[in-house]
A and B are shown apart, each in its own frame.
Chain A
Amino acid sequence: MESIIELEGLSVRFGKLEALKNLTGSFSGRAIGLLGPNGAGKTTLIHTLLGFYTPAAGTAKLLGRDIRKQDKETRALVGYMPERDSFIAGMTAVRFVRMMAELSGLPAEQALERAHEMLFYVGLGEARYRPLESYSLGMKQRAKLAQALVHGPRILFLDEPTNGLDPPGRERMIQLIKDIRDAGKVHVILSSHLLRDVEECCEQVLILKGGEIARFANLEEERQANKKFLELEIAGDAEAYVREVAALGCESARAGKRRIKMILPPELEIRSLYEVAARQNVQIRHLDYKRDSLQDIFLKAMDLESLGEANHGRA
C-alpha cells in the first residue's frame, strides 16, 4: 500500500523547546487519528507537514514528495481545515471557496462550479451568498471544510474539526468526515483531543506524547484481537467448567465466584463454550467481549515509561 506520510527523523524546535523529537514512521491508512494531550505536538506535526514550520532535523514525505524540497507540489495535494477561526472578511462563502480553489490551481470557471458543489455538499447551499462573518461557528467550520475539499485534495488535514460545535453540529461534521473517508478518494488525517471523534472516524491512530510517538495502533486490528478475550458470568460448578474448557486450549482466570476471564485459542469457536456448559449443566448468564476501547489504548500510551520501543510507527 502506498505510504501517505513518511516521517524520517523529523524534529522541530521553537527556540529551546523541542516540539517534535525525531519522529520516524510510515503511515498508510485511509483515516488516521492524531491523538495526544495538549502540547503533545499534534498541531505542530500538521503544520510542519504543511510547510509552516521548518524542521530542525530530518524530513517528511507526503505521498512520496519531500515537504522540504517539493513544498508547493506537496501542498497542491493537501487540503487543510485549521483549528482556529480562519476566514477572509468581506467575502461571501461562495467567493471565498472559489478564491481558495483558484489559489489551488483550478481555472476560474471550474473553481466557481466546485465552490457551489462543495458548499452544497457541506450543507451551506442555501447560505452560500451570505458574508462569512455573519456565519455561526458551526457554519464557519463547514465553510472551512468546503475550502479544504474544493480542489480535490488527496490528503485532508482536519485540525479539531468539531471544536466548539453543539451535538447536532458535531454529528453533522462527523457524518461528513465519514462520508469523505468512505468515498475512498481522500486520506483523512484527523487531529482531535476527543477520543470519540477519532474512534468514530479513524481506522488507525497515532498517539503523540511530549513531541514523540507514544503509540501507533490499527483500531480494526485491535478490535479483531479483542474478540478472543471473553468475560463470562456463569451459574453452576465453575471449577469443573474451567477444567473442561482448559482441555480445549482456553486460558482462563477466575475473577470472582461466578466470573471467568478467558482467552480463546484462534481455532476455537464460542459455540464450544456453550456445548461444554450444556454437558456440565452450567448456565452461562453473561458473555461479553473484552472491549479494549480507544480510551484504554490512549491511557496505556500515556502511561508508557519508556518510549524507546514505541517510537517507531507500525503502519
Chain B
Amino acid sequence: MAVHDRRYKPYTGETTALRSRFLVLPRYAFKDVFKSRWLVFFLGLTVLPPLIFGIMIYIRNNLDALDRLSQLGLDIGSFYSIDEGFFANFLRWQYSFAFFLTLFVGPGLVSRDLANNGLPLYLSRPISRADYVIGKLVILLTLSSAITWVAGLLLFGLNGNMTTWGWMFENARIGFAVFVGSFLWISLLALLALSLSAWVRWKVIAGFMLLAFFLVGTVVPQVINAFFRTDWGHILNAVQLVRIVTAKMLGTTPPDGPPFFACIIALAVMAGVCLLLLNRRIRAYQVVS
C-alpha cells in the first residue's frame, strides 16, 4: 500500500456505475448488522418456523411417514392440510418476526447519520436523497424479505414439488398472497422505522415510538369500535389492515374490519405520511425560515 508517499495525489482510476452507487449503503449496513450476536441469534430463531412448516409439508406429502405415524395412532391428515390456512398461519409467525427484526435494525439506520450530522457527507456526493432512503430501505427489505415472502414461496415451491406442479397452478393465489401480503407488511414496517427515526433522531426513542405505534394502533381502534359500535376503527390498526388484505388475497376468513379496498387505501395513506416525513427530514441541512 502506497502510504510512504505522503503528498496529495488525485485519483485517476476507474469509477463504479452511478445507478448502483446507493448499494454501498446496504453493504456497509449489513456488516454492522451482523456484528450483533443478538441479531444473529434472532435471525436464527426466524428460521425455525419455516423449518417446522417445511417438515410439516414433508410429512403431509410422504406416504411412508404418514403410514408410520398412523400406526402410532397419529392421524396427521385430520390435524392439518396444506392449504390457505396453513400459509396464513405461517405468515402470522413471520409477520411477527419481521416486526421485531425491524424494531432491532430499523431505528439505528437513519438516526445514527442524523444525530451526527452525517447527511451532508452523503448528500455532497453523487447520491440523491431518494438514493439514500432507498439504500436504507434495501437493508430492511432484504432482511425482512428473507424471513417472510422468500421463506413462504420456498415452502409453496416445496409443496408444489412434493405434490404435483398442477397444485401450484391451482393455488397460484396463495403464492401471490404470500408475496404481496408480505411485501406490503415489510414495506410499511421499513417506512415507519425510517421515518420515525428520521423524525426523532434518536435510536432508542425511535424504537419505542415504533412499538407504541403498533400498541396504540391496537388499543385505540378497539375503543373506537366499542364506542361507535363499528368495525371501522380498525382503519387505524396497521396490523389488522395487513391481516385483512392478506386473508382476502389468500381466500381465508378475514378478521373484523373495513373492506379490502378501504384497507389498501389506509395502508397507502400511512406509507404516504411516512414518505412525507422522510422528505422533510432527509436533508443535508434543515432550513428554518
Binding site for B on A (CB under 8 A): 14-17, 47, 50-53, 71-73, 75-76, 78-80, 82, 84-90, 95, 99-100, 102-107, 110, 113-114, 116-117, 120-121, 125, 144, 147, 149-152, 157, 179-180, 183, 185-186
Contact = CB atoms under 8 A, between A and B. Distances in A.
A109 B144 CA distance: 30
B18 A72 contact: yes
B127 A103 contact: yes
B120 A86 contact: yes
Interface of B: 1-3, 6-16, 18, 21, 24-25, 28, 32, 112-113, 115-118, 120-128, 283-285, 287-289
B289 A179 contact: no
Contacts of A103: 21, 24-25, 122, 125-127
5 A-B pairs closest in CB distance:
A15-B289, A152-B11, A105-B15, A80-B124, A152-B10
Nearest to B117: A86
Contacts of B287: 14, 53
A78 B127 CA distance: 13
A116 B1 contact: yes
Given A47-B284, A52-B285, A100 B125 contact: yes
A74 B145 CA distance: 36
A106 B120 contact: no
Contacts of B8: 121, 149, 179-180, 183, 185-186
B192 to A, nearest CB: 23
Interface of chain B, main secondary structure: loop
Given A72-B126, A88-B112, A125-B3, A110 B13 contact: yes
A125 B6 CA distance: 10
Nearest to B23: A102
7 contacts: A76-B15, A86-B120, A87-B117, A99-B28, A105-B126, A185-B10, A186-B10
A106 B13 contact: yes
A72 B128 contact: yes
Contacts of A117: 1-3, 9
Contact of B12 (A78, A150, A152): A152
A212 B140 CA distance: 46
A125 B11 CA distance: 19
B117 A110 contact: no
Given A99-B28, A125-B3, A151 B116 contact: no
A116 B288 CA distance: 38
A47 B120 CA distance: 9
A104 B28 contact: no
Contact of A86 (B24, B25, B121): B121
A85 B116 contact: yes
Contact of B32 (A76, A87, A90, A120): A90
Contact of A82 (B112, B120, B128, B288): B120
Contacts of A105: 15-16, 18, 21, 126
A104 B126 contact: yes
Nearest to A103: B125
Contacts of B116: 85-89
A99 B24 CA distance: 7
Contacts of B125: 75-76, 100, 103-104, 151
A162 B3 CA distance: 25
A47 B288 CA distance: 15
Interface centre among A51, A52, A103, A147 (most CB of B within 10 A): A103
Q: Which of B116, B124, B125, B283 has the largest number of chain A CB atoms within 10 A?
A: B124
A50 B10 contact: no
A151 B9 CA distance: 10
A198 B125 CA distance: 25
Given A72-B18, A107-B16, A150-B11, 11 more contacts: A14-B289, A17-B289, A47-B285, A71-B128, A75-B124, A106-B16, A116-B3, A121-B7, A185-B8, A185-B10, A186-B8
Given A85-B116, A86-B120, A99-B24, A73 B12 contact: no
